[in-house]
Each structure stands twice: as structure tokens, then as C-alpha cells.
Amino acid sequence: MTRVWLITGASRGLGRAFTEAALQAGDRVIGAARNVEPLADLVQQYPDDLVRIPLDVTDRAAVFAAAEQAVAAFGRLDIVVNNAGAMLLGMVEEASEEQIRAHFDVNLFGAVWVTQAVLPYLRAQGGGRILQVTTMGTGGGFPMVGMYAAGKSALDSVSEAVAMEAEQFGVKLTIVQMGGYDTGLFTKGTTMTTPDPHYQELRDKLIEMWGEDAGPAPETAAPAIMELVGLADPPRRLIVGSESFDVVQQDLQDRMAQYRAWEHLSRTVSG
């Protein structure tokens, strides 16, 4: 059966990779992005299967209008991929109020607006899939990417609630915790804070640690997503990336060890 996808942030990076994979599988796609011109070549290749919708996910009214337009395009929605995102790179103290609010508008509220907009349609048709693209780093903060992790962590929590609320309607939600891929997030999708010299030593260490490797190409993640959407009983959470899985596993073990080390203090009170 031909499936209908709605993918936000479809013009580049992971969104573009997922769009291509879905079209190659014979599915239809509504690709939404602030700038949909980069999808022109795919429209020429798949003129009957790809519809582009210019969309700023921070505009709630525009999101709801886009959801209506998406359903009208092919008559239904089967898979919704909340992929649109941005990066705020810098120390927490350096970030301005405007930068932080703008960042959460995209990474958290934008995804919430899309989720709210599509749920009535998925509920009415008796089911569907929602993939919330977050990050393997939502287990805790890290220097210079603290605000990014915070927004994605909040989306993780909201998505857990949505999954439990919507499963009664046949809607299945998976939190897709992506590893590091060469998506352009650290270039085109990045807002930089104004560096505070007090943090320069730490900043230098982080830049040296990260190196120049941008990670694997985004299309290498697509096979896992295509297999995921084909599962009758998909997981609530999925880490995408072998090295990322190892990092998260180690982080969870370290975190549990810290809890155990202070278990005696935790148990000094009831509750």
C-alpha cells in the first residue's frame, strides 16, 4: 500500500534523506520547509508523488493550515516526521533571551504545533505514525549544546505523553534519537552566541574534541527509518547510530552508578 508522509524540514539533511527514501519506496510525500526550492529536482523526478509546502513551524496558524493542505493533497496522512530543527551553539550564560526563545520556538513548540495539527486527522482515520526527531543527547546537558539538548529533552517528554494519549486511537509514536550526521545543522542551521572570554579554554577543548568530522551522510540513516515505519509494533524510542547507541548506553550506566553512590542519602526520607 502506498503511504503518505508529511516531513518537516524536508529540504536538507535528514529531512531530505527521508523524503528521498520514501519516494524511492513508492510512497508519496508532502515536504514542508521554510525554503522548499531545494526540492525542485525531486518534484521533477516524482511529479505525482511529491508536494511542497512552504512552512515556518513556529507559526501555529500556518502549521494548522499546512496540515489541512497536506491531507487535501493525497487524501490522508500515514506517517508524520517532525524533523524541522535548529542549533543554538554556545554556553548557557552567553545565550540571549531572544536566541533562547527563538530556539525553543523551532525545536519544541514547532514540533508541538505539528503534532497538535495532525492528530485530529490521524484519529479520524483510525491510526497513523508520528516520528519525533530528537537527539541521542537528550539524556543530559553538555557544554555549548545545553539549550539544544534542553529543547529536544522537552520534546522527548511531551512525546512520551502524546504516545500514551494517542495510542487508543491507533496512533503510534516513536521518539527517534538521532546520532551525529552531516546534516548542515552546525552550519546553515546554527545560531552562535557571542563568545565570553571566560569560557575560551573550555571552548577550545570542546572544539578540539569534536574535531572536523561532520559525521556520516544523512542518507545512511534512512534505512533504519524505513524499517521502523514498517513495523507493526514500533518502539517508543529508537537510537539511530551504532556509536551513538554505545555512548547512550555508557551514559545510562554512569548515571545509574551516581544514583547508587548516593542511594543512602535518597533513602533518608520517605517519598
Cell numbers for 165: 494519549
Assess whether pLDDT exceeds 80 at residue 49. yes
Cell numbers for 99: 536566541
With beta carbons less than 8 A apart as the criterion, state whether 81 and 175 touch.
no
| CA 67/CA 117 separation, integer angstroms | 6
Predicted pLDDT of residue 59: 98
Encode pLDDT of 227-268 as tens digits.
999 999 999 999 998 888 898 899 899 999 999 999 999 999
Question: Which whole number is the average pLDDT over 68-85?
Answer: 97
Q: Give the dihedral of Cα atoms 152, 156, 161, 165; nearest 10 deg.
A: 100
Task: Place 189 in a pLDDT band, splitting at 50, 70 and 90.
Answer: low
Question: Which whole number is the average pLDDT over 113-135?
Answer: 97
Encode pLDDT of 17-32 as tens digits.
999 999 999 999 999 9
Residue 106: how many other CB atoms lie within 10 Å = 22
- Beta bridge mates, 22: none
With beta carbons less than 8 A apart as the criterion, state whether 73 and 51 touch.
yes
Assess whether pLDDT exceeds 70 at residue 214. no
Select the more confidently predicted residue: 130 or 220. Answer: 130
| pTM for the predicted model, two decimal places | 0.92
| CA 271/CA 266 separation, integer angstroms | 9
Taking the chain, what is the end-to-end CA distance rounded to the nearest angstrom?
A: 51
| CA 77/CA 170 separation, integer angstroms | 13
With beta carbons less than 8 A apart as the criterion, state whether 36 and 9 touch.
no
| CA 155/CA 214 separation, integer angstroms | 24
Cell numbers for 139: 539524556
Encode pLDDT of 138-153 as tens digits.
777 789 999 999 999 9
Residue-wise DSSP of the chain: ---EEEEESTTSHHHHHHHHHHHHTT-EEEEEES--GGGHHHHHHSTTTEEEEE--TT-HHHHHHHHHHHHHHHS--SEEEE----EEES-GGG--HHHHHHHHIIIIIIHHHHHHHHHHHHHHHT-EEEEEEEEGGGGS--TT-HHHHHHHHHHHHHHHHHHHHHGGGTEEEEEEEE----SSTTTTTEEEPPPPGGGHHHHHHHHHHH-S---S-GGGGHHHHHHHHT-SS--SEEEE-HHHHHHHHHHHHHHHHHHHHTHHHHTTS--
Task: Place 40 in a pLDDT band, splitting at 50, 70 and 90.
Answer: very high
Predicted pLDDT of residue 158: 97
Share of the chain above pLDDT 90, in %: 80
